[in-house]
Amino acid sequence: MIIKDTPEEWETRASVTPFTGAKTSVRTDDVVMPDGSVARRDYQVHPGSVAVLALDGQDRVTVLNQYRHPVRQRLWEIPAGLLDVPGENPLHAARRELYEEAHIKAEDWRVLTDLYTTPGGCDEAVRIFLARELSEAEDERYAVEHEELDMAVTAVPLQDLVRGALAGDLHNNCLVVGVLALVAARAGDGLDALRPADAPWPARPFEV
* Catalytically active residues, by annotation: 148
**Are the CB atoms for 104 and 135 separated by under 8 Å?**
yes
Cβ count near 70 (within 10 Å): 5
Residue 98 CA, distance from chain mean position: 12
> Position 61: which residue type?
V
**Are the CB atoms for 130 and 55 separated by under 8 Å?**
yes
Q: How far apart are CA 84 and CA 23, in angstroms?
A: 9
Kind plus residue range of the DSSP H or E element containing 98: helix 90-102
Is residue 136 helix, strand or coil?
strand
Q: How far apart are CA 149 and CA 25, in angstroms?
A: 26
